[in-house]
Amino acid sequence: MGQPGSLSWQLANERQTEAAGALLADRLAPFTEPLLLGLTGPLGAGKTTLARGLLKALGVSGRIKSPTYTLIEPYETTSGPVHHLDLYRLDHPGELEFLGLTDFLDEPGLVLVEWPAKAPVLMKRLDFEIVLAFSGERRTLRIDGSGKAASHMLASLPASFSA
């Protein structure tokens, strides 16, 4: 059993991680306010897979690339703009300037950030974190955060996941 208002999802395969992303998309959209979410977990935990499921559910078609090298991929969706960032390769927080964050961070839309700890300035502004972990071959997902967005999210999601 988790804490009251917490969740722990077991994700058996890539398809379930995508389905979890789709469920989150359903609860988060449409984006009427700025929403900044961290996607946390070790290398290969499924962060990009979850982002892909979320974006597909928002109607994004075509190949959804990992922003590993570009650091950022912007999308226009029917629910509003989504920016997907992967800061793993960010060498210095000063490089963030070149990503044009000020153009979208305070606008209605979703910003998903893999490796947010690389940018303390973003880390402290996260509405909540989606935390993926290895569990043998599988993955688990939980939501971390104490703010209003986190509790609202936890209240609207099932404690366990079945895809």
Q: Which residues bind Mg ion (CB under 5 A)?
A: 47-48, 66
**Nearest residue to 122 via CA among 143, 106, 141:** 106
- Shortest Cβ 40–Mg ion spacing (Å): 11
Q: What is the 3-state secondary structure (H, E, C) of 92-119?
A: CHHHHHHHCHHHHCCCCEEEEEECHHHC
- Residue 78 CB, nearest approach to Mg ion (Å): 24
Cα atoms in the Cβ-side hemisphere of radius 13 Å centred on 86: 21
Rg of the chain (C-alpha set): 15
> Please, what is the minimum distance in Å from the beta carbon of residue 33 to ligand ATP?
26
Parallel, antiparallel, or unpaired for β 128-135 and 109-114? Answer: unpaired
Residue (54 or 154) nearer to Mg ion, CB: 54
32 vs 160 by CB, closer to ligand ATP: 160
CB of 103 to ligand ATP, least distance (A): 24
Single out the segment in contact with ligand ATP by CB under 6 A; choices: 38-46, 70-78, 100-108, 116-124: 38-46
Per DSSP bridges, beta strands 34-40 and 138-144 are: unpaired
For Mg ion, which is the closer residue by CB, 8 or 66?
A: 66
Residues 90-149 that bind ligand ATP (CB under 6 A): 114, 137-139
CA 162 to chain centre: 19
CA distance 128 to 123: 10
Residue 31 or 115: the one with the smaller Cβ distance to ligand ATP is 115
Could you list the residues that contact ligand ATP (CB under 6 A)? 11-14, 16-17, 41, 43-49, 86, 114, 137-139
